[in-house]
Amino acid sequence: MVPDAFKWARPAPVLYTVAEFDLLLASGASFLAHVLREGRILFDRHGAMRSAFAAQAQTPLDLEPELTFQLGRLHSFEDTSQFNGEFLFCLAHLYAIGKAIVMIVLEKRGRPEYNKDRAFRALARRYPQLRHDIQRVAELKPFYLQVARGREARFPFSHRHAGDKVPAVISAIRNIATAS
Amino acid sequence: MTTSSAAPGGGSGSPIALSLFDRVSDYAEALETGTADIGKPLTDATPIVVFCQNFFAQLFQNVLNAPIRSIDARAKEQAATIRQQKSDDASAPLRRLLAVFEELCDEWQDVRGLSYVWYRHRALDEFHATLLPDLFEAITSWANAVDHQDLAQRSALAEAAYKKGLMALSARLAKA
């Protein structure tokens, strides 16, 4: 489905029916903002997409539910005894949640950034008092790359018996969320 | 917030942390109350995703001494190799557990919504209706075989909670 010329970029095709796309439009989610800001319509037989995009551009985003949802996901990682000394997947998920919250905060501040590394740097510049928290989450990226992409990378610390790191990361993510 | 114990199983002597089964309870409750939608791919921190990843991470690390770093084709090959090496009768429950893991590796991309959309619904149905019940049965059977009674009991309870959640969901869908 993806032409060979674009495979280097690891594109992830996502198909929406019209009804599903309407739901996305109604959600006010940050992904919608990304689509509206950087998306390009390649084919639109009846002009429905163009009309929907134009109407949506006038509607403010509602990012609070998304922020609440992301913060709620932290619950699954609070009890570190469940990991039995093996924290690779836990740390990968915490990076994913932290990254999502960083992007939501930037979107709320009207400074959207969709590149992971640039997003962390942009937020650290905007909130220097959170630099330590932001760094604590950003440094987990190699765990995420290993689990999500199968990409070998040097870990900042061993994921074995890293239980003492997890509460600090969760706390850092919650601090970052307050910046919004 | 609790902290991890250095002892496997959080001090219970089990190679799998018993508290990990709380994630199954969380998911069962979400099914029962309608906050989980089994028609949509499962996101990163969905409790049942956390359970599946970490159950097998602990099994491969603490029982097989062959850590995995993802649930994918590479991990499936690793599991198949180990399964073929464990050919004695006593390893039958472990072989069954590894076979479920191999199936999970096949379906994981679709269950997580990471591949093309036309596979999703079938994979999600199979995951909920077949694979998860098979997984709980295989865990209970293996835990009994290796005489980890606490683990077997916890797995059986998780299976019962999960089935109850699934039945409540089915009943709600039938009414709608």
ipTM: 0.83
> Using CA atoms, how far apart are residues A141 and A157, in angstroms rounded to an integer?
12
Contacting A with CB below 8 Å, chain B residues are 1-6, 8-10, 15-17, 19-20, 22-23, 26, 43-47, 50, 53-54, 57-58, 61-62, 67, 69-70, 72, 74, 114, 116-118
Domain that holds residue B46: 20-26+41-175
> Using CA atoms, how far apart are residues B6 and A166, in angstroms rounded to an integer?
15
What does the block give as tokens for B172?
């709600």
Q: Going from the N-terminus, what domains does chain A have, and what CATH number goes with each? A: 4-57 (no CATH), 64-178 (1.20.120)
Put simply, whether A24 touches B (Cβ < 8 Å) is no
Amino acid making up residue A90: C
Total count of domains within chain B: 1
Q: Is A63 helix (H, G, I), strand (E, B) or coil?
A: coil
pLDDT digits (tens, 9 = 90+) for A21-34: 887 787 777 888 88
> Using CA atoms, how far apart are residues A36 and A54, in angstroms rounded to an integer?
9
Secondary structure (DSSP) of A140-172: THHHHIIIII------SS-SBT-TTHHHHHHHH
pLDDT digits (tens, 9 = 90+) for A9-57: 767 677 778 887 887 787 777 888 888 888 889 889 888 888 888 888 7
pLDDT of residue A1: 62
pLDDT digits (tens, 9 = 90+) for B5-40: 344 444 567 899 999 999 999 999 999 998 887 877
Contact A95, A137 (CB under 8 A): yes
Put simply, whether A20 touches B (Cβ < 8 Å) is no
Secondary structure (DSSP) of A10-58: --------HHHHHHHHHHT-HHHHHHHHH------TTSHHHHHHHHHHT
> Using CA atoms, how far apart are residues A166 and A83, in angstroms rounded to an integer?
11
pLDDT digits (tens, 9 = 90+) for B91-121: 999 999 999 999 999 999 888 876 654 455 6
Q: Is A7 helix (H, G, I), strand (E, B) or coil?
A: helix
Record the pTM.
0.85
Residue B106, in any domain of the structure: yes
Inter-chain contact B114–A12, Cβ cutoff 8 Å?
yes
> Using CA atoms, how far apart are residues A170 and B5, in angstroms rounded to an integer?
19
Residues of A in contact with B74 (CB under 8 A): 150
To which residue do tokens 């905060």 refer? A105
Q: What is the mean pLDDT of residues A134-160?
A: 93
Partners of A86 in the beta sheet? A160
Inter-chain contact A85–B6, Cβ cutoff 8 Å?
yes
| Confidence class for position B88, pLDDT limits 50, 70, 90 | very high
